Each structure stands twice: as structure tokens, then as C-alpha cells.
């Protein structure tokens, strides 16, 4: 059998991965969900034909979206996670005994259901007693929250379809309001290499900057995302992730990671000129 999963990264660029087997292909109320097994990347979940998670490289994304804010403020107790239905972000958060509550707001119950069935490597902590899952639109959820969370992680799809609202001015303003005075917001922030992603990144950054006194981006190498160069947004009311990094505290926790470390923590905020220039244009 010679079956390939192919995803258009632009109109002129595609990524193809050889597939061993298809486990599921379903249309939920919100999106089409496919789960495959592949030779090189292990299990894969795609949403509307866009790759979300692969077994081989998911740890990079999930470690970077979680440990950067956690190592910046050791007093994070209550976390809101928006999207993230595969469970990888919650798995990383659950490694901190200091976290008391994790509220996860995922619009699509079927993503969580399929992740529990086929992606146990990411979904393994979704039944942790500290985790409460709300099946709702994250945009609506944050409208009614005030001064409640120490950290908000937006682990969303791209800024179109169901994920579009999670890149709006209204959403970022409500995230600011939902955070405590120590609050940190981290979000998946697209990429700069291809124009369509770059425009989305610039729009998101300029909107976040409008609310938060500290608004930065940091980078990671994620082989299966378009261009392989991916950005995350870090915004906060007072914490600077480089100045305030609690390296000794974090290293003392003994959390074993495959990508993140506290030296990389400082380095990932050293962004290349093309990203810096794109942010200046935003
Ligand atoms: N790591 C992925 C990436 O960057 O490609 C993203 C993870 S994926 C599991 C993101 C999740 O966000 C999806 O399960 C999707 O259903 C959810 N999502 C999209 N829009 C949402 C919204 N408005 N409210 C809550 N969840 C949303």
C-alpha cells in the first residue's frame, strides 16, 4: 500500500507523509477530524485537513507552550486552557504539583473523544482530578470571567473557521480581564515564513500589544508545521519571561523534558531579524 497524507502549506508548497492506516475520519459539528498512523511520525490527528498533532514531534509544541510561562512565575495555581482537545498541553501542566485547577475550554467534544481513544500519549492526563473540561466556544467563555486565572494558554487552530474568534481584539481584551494581576497569556502564534501565516501573526501581535504592557514572541522548531519555524506569543501584566525566569526553581522540580530547558528558555526569545521586522510592521 502506498497511501500519503498531503497538506497544502501554501498554494505552491505541500507536505506529504506516508500513511500506514486510517483510524477515524468523521465530520463533527465544527470540523472534519482524521486520525492516521504513519511510518515516520506515528499517530497523527488533522482537523479540516490541517495537521494538529503527530506522535513524533508533539512534545516540542506542548512543552514550549507550557513550560515557558510556568518557569516564569512559580506561583501559577489556576490555569485556563482554550482549545487543546488532544490533551498535550494539559498533560504538561499536570506535571506541576503546584497547579490546583486547570479549566479546559474545547469547542469540539469529538476531538477529545478521539484523542482519548487514539492519542493516549497526549490525552493521558485529561482525567486528572484538577482538570475540568467545558465544551464551549473559548471566545464566549472568557466574556464572563474576571480576575480569575494566573495563566491562560490558547492552544487553538488557525485564525479561520472555529478558531477565528480566538485571534480577535475582543478575545484578547477579555483574556486580559480574566487574568489576575500576575497573569500571563500564551498563545500559538503562527509563523512568519509564508505570507498568509505571517499576516495572521502580525495581526495577532498588534492586537495583543494593545492590551498587555509586555508582549513578546518566542520560537520553536516544529518539523510538521508550515515552514517548520513556529512562534508562540507571550503577554503579561508584569512578568518578563527572560528577566523573571526562575531557572533554579524550575530545574529543582526535576521535570524531564525532551525539548525545553532553562537555557533554551532565554534563547527562544532571541528572534531573527525577519521576525523582528515583521513584528515592527504590526
Ligand atoms: N497544536 C495545534 C496546532 O497549533 O496546530 C492546535 C491543537 S488543536 C487540538 C486545537 C483545538 O482548538 C481543536 O481541538 C479545536 O477544536 C479547538 N478550538 C478551535 N476553536 C475553538 C474555540 N473557538 N473555542 C474552543 N476551542 C476551539
Cell numbers placing 161:
473557521
Quote ipTM for the complex.
Answer: 0.96
Distance CA 194, CA 11 (A): 11
pLDDT of residue 227: 93
Assess whether 240 carries a catalytic annotation.
Answer: no
How far, in Å, from the CA of 144 to the mean position of ligand 1? 20
- Among the ranges given (18-22, 208-212, 260-264, 273-277), the one the predictor scored with the smallest mean pLDDT: 273-277
- Return the ligand 1 atom nearest residue 157 CA: 10
pLDDT tens across 7-63, in order? Answer: 999 999 999 999 999 999 999 999 999 999 999 999 999 999 999 999 999 999 999
Please identify, by atom number, the ligand 1 atom nearest to the C-alpha of residue 62: 1
Q: pLDDT-based confidence at 279, cuts 50/70/90?
A: confident
Q: What is the mean pLDDT of residues 226-252?
A: 97
**pLDDT in the model for residue 194:** 87
- The yes-or-no verdict on residue 195 having pLDDT over 90 is no
Grid coordinates in use for 236? 503579561
The CA 31 to ligand 1 mean position distance, Å, reads 10
Is residue 156 annotated as involved in ligand binding?
yes
138 is in an annotated binding site: yes
Predicted model pTM: 0.97
106 is in an annotated binding site: yes
User: Any alpha helices (H) in 41-189, and if so which ranges?
Assistant: 58-72, 88-93, 109-118, 120-123, 138-143, 169-178
Is the distance from CB of 216 to CB of 170 less than 8 angstroms?
no
To test ligand 1's pocket by mutation, which of 83, 137, 187, 223 has the most ligand atoms within 8 angstroms of CB?
Answer: 83
Does the structure show a pLDDT above 80 at 1?
no
pLDDT in the model for residue 33: 98
Q: Which three cell numbers stand for residue 207?
A: 492586537
Query: What residues line ligand 1, using a CB cutoff of 6 Å?
Result: 47, 52-53, 61, 82-86, 105-108, 111, 137-139, 155-157, 162-163, 165-166, 188
pLDDT more than 90, % of the chain: 89
Ligand 1 atom showing the smallest separation from residue 163 Cα? 20
| Cell, residue 171 | 478575545
Which residue among 34, 103, 108, 155 is the active-site one?
155
Query: Mind listing the pLDDT tens digit for each residue in 61-79?
Result: 999 999 999 999 999 999 9
- Is residue 197 predicted with pLDDT exceeding 80? no
Whether the CB-CB separation of 262 and 71 falls below 8 Å is answered with yes
- Alpha carbon of 52 to ligand 1 centroid (Å): 9
pLDDT band (50, 70, 90) for residue 280: confident
100 DSSP 8-state letter: -
Average pLDDT of the residues in 254-280: 95
**86 annotated as a binding-site residue:** yes
User: How far is 158 from 173, CA to CA, in rounded Å?
Assistant: 19
Amino acid at each position: 500500500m502506498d497511501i500519503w497524507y498531503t497538506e497544502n502549506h501554501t498554494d505552491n508548497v505541500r507536505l506529504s507523509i506516508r500513511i500506514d492506516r486510517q483510524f477515524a475520519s468523521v465530520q463533527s459539528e465544527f470540523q472534519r477530524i482524521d486520525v492516521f498512523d504513519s511510518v515516520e511520525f506515528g499517530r497523527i490527528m488533522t482537523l479540516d485537513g490541517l495537521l494538529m498533532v503527530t506522535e513524533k514531534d508533539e512534545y516540542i509544541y506542548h512543552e514550549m507552550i507550557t513550560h515557558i510561562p510556568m518557569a516564569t512565575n512559580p506561583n501559577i495555581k489556576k490555569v485556563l486552557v482554550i482549545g487543546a482537545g488532544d490533551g498535550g498541553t494539559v498533560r504538561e501542566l499536570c506535571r506541576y504539583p503546584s497547579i490546583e485547577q486547570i479549566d479546559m475550554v474545547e469547542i469540539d467534544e469529538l476531538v477529545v473523544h478521539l484523542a482519548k481513544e487514539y492519542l493516549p500519549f497526549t490525552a493521558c492526563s485529561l482525567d486528572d482530578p484538577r482538570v475540568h473540561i467545558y465544551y464551549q466556544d473559548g471566545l464566549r467563555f472568557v466574556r464572563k470571567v474576571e480576575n480569575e486565572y494566573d495563566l491562560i494558554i490558547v492552544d487553538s487552530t488557525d485564525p479561520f473557521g472555529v478558531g477565528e474568534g480566538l485571534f480577535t481584539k475582543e478575545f484578547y481584551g477579555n483574556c486580559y480581564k480574566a487574568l489576575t494581576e500576575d497573569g500571563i497569556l500564551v498563545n500559538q502564534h503562527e509563523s512568519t515564513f509564508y505570507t498568509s501565516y505571517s499576516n495572521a501573526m502580525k495581526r495577532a501581535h498588534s492586537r495583543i500589544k494593545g492590551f498587555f504592557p509586555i508582549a513578546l514572541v518566542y520560537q520553536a522548531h516544529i518539523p510538521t508545521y508550515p515552514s517548520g519555524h513556529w512562534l508562540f506569543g507571550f503577554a503579561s501584566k508584569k512578568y518578563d519571561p527572560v528577566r523573571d525566569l526562575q531557572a533554579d526553581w524550575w530545574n529543582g522540580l526535576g521535570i524531564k523534558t525532551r525539548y525545553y530547558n532553562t537555557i533554551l528558555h532565554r534563547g527562544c526569545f532571541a528572534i531573527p531579524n525577519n521576525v523582528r521586522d515583521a513584528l515592527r510592521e504590526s
